[in-house]
Chain A
């Protein structure tokens, strides 16, 4: 289960993410945090399993132009 999630995130990063993979361009449509939301999700699940999903969801909700952003480690 965990591995399915991890593989999905890697796939997303490679194909769709503007922060990683083939679409990486340094454009401005990207994550306000370090590490990026998808990387945060990857590291969280790797460390603590899929029960950290609510926390990941909160992180994504915080990742909008009205929040400060910055460094937020998993």
Chain B
């Protein structure tokens, strides 16, 4: 299983990362991480854009959703079933589904391994024969960020961006009015809990990974903005 994981995910991601590193004129591994993240997110973007567009379409059936919520007040099971039927009837489904969410986890683990291994000379043996072996990889990015160690500022940047993204997502929803009162109260808590979690988690991680998280959050922000202006 772990061998399969190495061949399918870890090794390709690691190789791609080194190819980007080799290609960059200044051989900056931090920039390579940012570029790799953008490539991965672009691969996923048909999924997220489809889901985001479907959320926009939701506003048309909004009155009917309100009706359902009034009718089955307090019975979340009945609300769940009735709204699923409604979505089906109108051919919209605002949720992106479990697969995109779960797919990101193995990719994240592979990236984590690749970033941890990158600075160990022996892991360069995982490179495909067609990929040029750079010998070793420079740990410093932009001359002042050590990618292999912790960084005391970037976790806060990651947290703030996460907060911005959550807030933007919430605004989109309240425009649709697609939330009941309890959900929006929960959301307000979540708006802070998740960013704080991100700060604490990234505090203990090597900076390369925090850089990944910052890039992917920025990408999501951009994606949301793009959908909002393109389809509004």
Contact = CB atoms under 8 A, between A and B. Distances in A.
A64 B186 contact: no
Interface residues of A, number: 30
A31 B87 contact: no
Contacts of B55: 28
B101 to A, nearest CB: 6
A47 B221 CA distance: 42
Contacts, number: 97
A34 B80 CA distance: 7
Main SS at interface, chain A: loop
Interface in B91-131: 91, 93-102
Contact of B98 (A25, A31, A68): A31
B84 A29 contact: no
A45 interface: no
A21 B205 CA distance: 26
B51 interface: yes
From A22, A34, A64, A65, name the one whose CB has the most chain B CB atoms within 10 angstroms: A65
Contacts of B95: 28-32, 69
Interface of A: 18, 22-38, 60-71
